[in-house]
Amino acid sequence: MKRDIAALAPRPEPGSEPTVTADVATAALTRSEYELFARVGRARRCYAGETLFRRGDLGTTMYVVARGAIELDFGDDLISKRLGPSEFFGELGLLIGDHARSADAVALADGELIELRHEEFQRLVDSDPGLISHFLRRAIMRVVLNEQGLIRRLRRRNQDLQSALDSLRATAHQLNQTEELIRTDELTGLYNRRGLAQHLHDRRRNGALGGLGLVLIDCDRFKQVNDEHGHLVGDRVLQSVASILRSVVGDGDIACRLGGDEFCLLVKADNREAVLGFADFITTTTRGLLQVPRHSEPGDVPLICTLSLGACLVDADSDWNDWYAQADMALYRAKRLGGNRVEWQDAHVAA
């Protein structure tokens, strides 16, 4: 029977949780990580002198110490490691799969461990991809540093260690996929604010902020849709808007849900007419959907609502806050004029 082992390990003080830039040689979970791992993992008792695995064994399981102490003996001229509560080991067996263990793991005292195999790890990713992304990055950095040390000291094992690093690259790919999840809005599949910020950061770093236009999109009377038809209908309306935005973006453009019923497009455009072309397509498509004949029945629910849009050109020498304020001024004017329209804002007027 699975026991509640989340309370067995000591909790760090608030603000003391390690980060990726902390000493990556340590193997301690943060408080949030430990609580999640303890909730998902399997409890296992261990006893003083018990050998959990030996060097060369093929492993597919990672362990977290809940209570007691574990010694990792790497043999040869390498220093043994002693692990206590909240510290983890054997992660290569989980991240790579069928990895040859590089140490003997022996229990120094009676205690309890949390076991995590591939199925539990997948549940961790599904439960909190952001937290696991942070853990994977730190764990991979720690593993890479440890493996590089083994390469320096044990030249004859260089080929095996290189294979492990190759496998870690595949794991890094999995990490990138996990990070992609936390840059995406769950409801609509568009980028969220985090994804937009990363996109802008990459463009600025590559000197590619010129020749862009920004369009802000806001649903008209969206609160009324929620109030009259419920939030599930409101969610479907937002998904319909997202589908229109997804259909208009091209290579290098980005569609984003900023939050609530507010969206934006960042598109390649050198002039006002090009930006307004995107905006007009959105409003025209929306009006067309609203005019599609439907059987009128009591309780009919809307598939979409009218949209208000504010548009502007992006000044590469300014930042997101400046662009947003400029486009938001146009959006506010569109709302004030009754919605279901596009308004433009020139930079010199916004100033």
Q: Which of 279, 304, 274, 301 is nearest to 291 (CA)?
A: 304
Is it the case that residue 223 has pLDDT exceeding 80? yes
Looking at the chain, the domain(s) classified CATH 3.30.70.270 span 193-350
Q: Do 168 and 95 meet the contact criterion of CB atoms below 8 Å apart? A: yes
Question: Torsions phi, psi of 258, nearest 5?
Answer: -75, -25
CATH number of 193-350: 3.30.70.270
pTM over 0.75: no
Q: How many CA atoms lie within 13 A of 340 on its CB side?
A: 9
Mean pLDDT of 67-92: 88
Burial 160-191 (b: 16+ CB within 10 A, else e): ebeebeebbeebeeebeebbeebbbbeebebb
Confidence band (pLDDT; 50, 70, 90) for 91? confident
Give the 3-state secondary structure percentages of the chain, helix then strand then coil, rounded to 5: 45, 20, 35
Can you give the pLDDT at residue 80?
Answer: 85
Helices 118-127/129-153 angle, 10° precision: 130
Q: Which amino acid is at 63?
A: Y
Question: Cα dihedral angle (78, 84, 90, 91), rounded to 10 degrees?
Answer: -110
CATH number of 31-182: 2.60.120.10
Is it the case that residue 19 has pLDDT exceeding 50? no
**Rounded Cα distance, 285 and 96, in Å:** 48
247-259 pLDDT tens trace: 999 888 999 999 9
- The secondary structure of residue 22, as a DSSP letter, is S
Return all residues near 268 (Cβ < 8 A) that are at least 6 apart: 211, 212, 213, 250, 252, 253
Looking at the chain, the domain(s) classified CATH 2.60.120.10 span 31-182
- Residue-wise DSSP of 73-97: E--TTPPPEEE-TTBEE-HHHHHTS
- The secondary structure of residue 155, as a DSSP letter, is G
113-167 pLDDT tens trace: 999 998 898 899 888 988 988 888 888 887 777 767 666 666 666 666 677 777 7
Of the given ranges (111-125, 150-164, 199-213, 307-321), which has the lowest mean pLDDT?
A: 150-164
Helices 231-248/272-290 angle, 10° precision: 140
